[in-house]
Amino acid sequence: MQPESTPPNADITATPVPERAPTPAKLTEVSSLTLEGLTRFLTEELGERAFRAGQLYRWMHQRGATSFEEMTDLSKVLREKLKTRAEIVPLVKDAEQRSVDGTIKYRWKTRDGRYIESVYMPSEDRKTLCVSTQVGCAMACTFCMTGTLGLKRNLTSGEIVAQVHAVNREVRKLEKLETYRPLSNLVFMGMGEPLHNFENLKTALSILQSVEGPNFSHRHITVSTVGLVPMIERFGQETDVKLAISLNASTDEQRSKTMPVNRKWNIAALLDACRKFPLRQGRRITFEYVLLRDFNDSDEDAYRLIELLKDIPAKVNLIPYNENPGLGFKTTMDERAEHFRELLTNGHVAAFIRQNRGRDIAGACGQLANRGGENASESTQNPELP
Ligand code: SAH
C-alpha cells in the first residue's frame, strides 16, 4: 500500500490549513509594568516609538483609564494592536459598604473570581486608602479575620495599583471632584502581608510614586508588616516609604500565641531589625498594638513595651480591636486603653489611640476577610516564610 501522500494535482506551495485556530498569544499585563518596563515592551515587542509608552502609562496611571479604547490620542491602529497583545487587568466593584463616619469599604472581584477589599477613610486633612496586597494571608495571626483564610494568591502590581485608581474614580464621582487623584495617603494594611509579596509591592510603589503616574509622596505611604525580619532589611534598602510593625504583644510567649511569625523571628530579632532600619531624618517607626482585653493590655504590658522600645525612634498606635465572632478575643475598654496610653506617654513613648474607623461595617484593617466569597471556601495553606 502506498503511504498517504500529497494527492497528484495538489498545489504543494499553498499554505497548509491549520488543524485548529491558533491559540491567542498570552496578553501582557501592561498595568503591572513600570514606565521603564512599559517602554521596553512597546519598543521591543510592538516596534513602537518610546514616547508612546509615556502616553499609555499616563492614561493608565494618571487618569486611571481601564480600556485602550478611551485613549483617544493613540492611533486607532495602535489601540487595535494593544488589544491583541496587551491588557489592563480589571478589578470589578462587587460590593460597597458605607459607615456613618464616612468610611467606605469596597469589595472587588478579581478576574479569577477572588475577592479583595480596600477601605477608604476620609478625614478633615486627608483621604486615606487602606490597600490589600494578597488574596488571603499566610501569616495566620489568630485574632485576624484574613488570617483565617490562608493565602490564596499574591496580587499583581497592577491589581494593587488598580485599587487606588478605582477608589480615586469612586471618590471623584461621590464628592464631585475634578482632580484625578483625590486620595492623599496610602496605608498597606489591608488583606495580606505586603512583605510576603515584596516584588509586586515594590513595583506597585514605584508606579504609585512616579511623577508620570499618581505621584504619591513617600511621606504619605506606610507599609505595615507582621515582622518578616529579612524582608524588613530589603524594604529599607529598596524603598523610601514609611514602615509600620504589628507588634501586638509585650512578651514572646504572648506574641507566639497570636502571631505564628514570632516563632521564627522573635521580638528581639524584630526589634534588632528595627534598630538597623535606615530611617530618614525625623522619621519614626510606627508600632501597631492591637489591644486585646486581658491578654496584652495590663500595666505590666505597658511597662515592658516602654522597655522594649526605649532605644528605637518609635510611635505606638494603639488599635481598638474589632471583634470577630468566633476568634475569641475581646476589645479593651476605652478607659483601660486610655490608661495604657498614658502609661506609655509617661514612659516617654509617643502613643496614640487609633480612631476606630468603620466599626459598624467591619472595616478595620485586618478585618477584611469576606465570608461569602470563593476565598472562604477553600482550605487554608501553611505559612511559607521567606
Ligand atoms: N500583614 C500586615 C498588614 C495587614 S494587618 C500586618 O500584619 O501588619 C494590618 C493591621 O491590622 C495589623 O496591625 C493587625 O494587627 C491589625 N488587625 C488585624 N485584625 C484586626 C482586628 N480585628 N481589629 C483591629 N486590628 C486588627
CA of 144 to the centre of ligand 1 (A): 6
Q: Is the predicted pLDDT of residue 314 greater than 90, yes or no?
A: yes
Would strands 104-109 and 115-122 be described as parallel, antiparallel, or unpaired?
A: antiparallel
Q: Which of 163, 161, 183, 159 is nearest to 171 (CA)?
A: 183
The continuous run of DSSP H or E covering 206 comes out as helix 198-208
Distances (CA, A) of 80 to 9, 71, 122, 267: 40, 11, 39, 55
Name the CA radius of gyration of the chain, rounded.
25
* Contact call for residues 82 and 23 (beta carbons, < 8 A): no
What is the rounded average pLDDT for all residues in the chain? 90
Cβ of residue 132 lying under 6 Å from some atom of ligand 1: no
Q: What is the DSSP string of 4-38?
A: P---TT--TTSPPPPSSPPPPPPPEEGGGS-HHHH
Which run of H or E residues covers position 128?
A: strand 127-130
pLDDT exceeds 50 at position 13: no
For a mutational test of ligand 1's pocket, the pick from 155, 189, 327, 352, i.e. the residue with the most ligand atoms closer than 8 A to its C-beta, is 189
Please give the average per-residue pLDDT across 93-104, as a whole number.
Answer: 93
At 250-269, the pLDDT tens digits run 999 999 999 999 999 999 99
Q: Are 40 and 47 in contact (CB under 8 A)?
A: no
CB atoms within 10 A of CB 124: 4
| Ligand 1 center to 124 CA (angstroms) | 24
Q: Match 478625614 to its residue by C-alpha cell.
A: 123
Q: Is 243 in the pocket of ligand 1 (CB under 6 A)?
A: no
Q: Where do the DSSP E strands lie in 275-324?
A: 285-291, 314-320
Contact 172, 117 (CB under 8 A): no
Q: Which residue CA neighbors atom 13 of ligand 1 most closely?
A: 246
Q: For the beta carbon of residue 326, count every other beta carbon within 10 angstroms.
A: 7
Ligand 1 atom 4 nearest Cα: 189
Set of cell numbers at residue 361: 461595617
Q: How far is the CA of 319 from the centre of ligand 1 (A)?
A: 9
- Mutational test site, ligand 1, from 116, 191, 224, 248, max ligand atoms within 8 Å of CB: 224
Q: Which residues are catalytic?
A: 117, 365
Residue nearest to atom 9 of ligand 1 (CA): 189
Distance of CA 373 to the CA centre of its chain: 19
The confidence score (pLDDT) of residue 90 equals: 86
Query: Does the pLDDT of residue 346 top 90, yes or no?
Result: yes
Q: What is the spatial distance between Cα 162 and Cα 151, in angstroms, rounded to a whole number?
A: 20
Residue 370: its pLDDT value, please? 62
- pTM for the full predicted model: 0.90
Distance 206 CA to ligand 1 centre (A): 24
How far apart are the CA of 149 and the centre of ligand 1, in A?
14
Asked if pLDDT for residue 365 goes beyond 90, the answer is: no
Paired with 222 in beta bridges are: 187, 242
Does the structure show a pLDDT above 70 at 4? no
pLDDT band with cut points at 50, 70 and 90 for residue 358: confident
pLDDT, tens digit (0-9, with 9 covering 90-100), for 42-73: 999 999 999 999 999 999 999 999 999 999 99
pLDDT of residue 24: 56
Q: What is the pLDDT of residues 196-217, one digit of tens each?
A: 999 999 999 999 999 999 999 9
